């Protein structure tokens, strides 16, 4: 028989930082609302959250790494939206945001969750920020809560 480790979905006593990109704030603010709602509904207290606003998704990893390395948090949730336009700018920003968030997680030893939407249209982003496809900010916070518990169990 094997041993199995599963994360509990309980935010009680946990502290998280949430980094939010201001660019495309119509979307990122809805993602933040979802993340906050998820945390409170899973036993967390709002005073155990720190929200850091950065200019856009490209800057998210820099703040995430600083927060993750501070020793103050059980995890960091990264929220933003990169919406494809008519130039290759989307490809660069989306790729660097994803790589940077992963880099922050590897360097810090904390769960650093990628909740940055990368969509082809504003309609797709709206769907993922609280309408047809749920709220990906909620999903990102739920992942952070679960992973923080798993990290604790792993030692």
pLDDT-derived band at 131 (thresholds 50, 70, 90) equals confident
Assess whether 42 carries a catalytic annotation. no
Is pLDDT at 104 greater than 90 in this prediction?
yes
Q: Express each pLDDT in 14-52 by its tens digit.
A: 999 999 999 999 999 999 999 999 999 999 999 999 999
Is pLDDT at 63 greater than 90 in this prediction?
yes
Spatial contact of 42 and 145, defined as CB atoms under 8 Å apart: yes
pLDDT-derived band at 107 (thresholds 50, 70, 90) equals very high
| Distance between CA atoms of residues 23 and 25, nearest Å | 5
Torsion of CA 39, 75, 51, 102, to 10 degrees: -120
Q: Which of 89, 99, 134, 152 is catalytic?
A: 89
- This prediction's pTM: 0.96
């Amino acid at each position: 028989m094997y041993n199995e480790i599963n994360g509990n979905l309980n935010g009680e006593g946990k502290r998280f930082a949430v980094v939010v990109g201001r660019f495309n704030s119509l979307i990122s603010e809805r993602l933040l609302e979802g993340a906050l709602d998820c945390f409170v509904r899973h036993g967390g207290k709002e005073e155990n959250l720190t929200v850091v606003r950065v200019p856009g998704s490209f800057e998210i990893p820099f703040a995430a790494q600083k927060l993750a390395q501070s020793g103050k948090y059980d995890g960091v949730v990264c929220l933003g939206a990169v919406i494809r336009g008519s130039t290759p700018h989307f490809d660069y920003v989306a790729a660097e945001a994803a790589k940077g968030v992963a880099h922050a997680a590897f360097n810090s030893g904390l769960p650093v969750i990628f909740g940055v939407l990368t969509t082809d249209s504003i309609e797709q982003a709206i769907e993922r920020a609280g309408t047809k496809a749920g709220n990906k900010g909620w999903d990102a916070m739920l992942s952070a809560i679960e992973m923080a518990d798993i990290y604790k169990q792993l030692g």
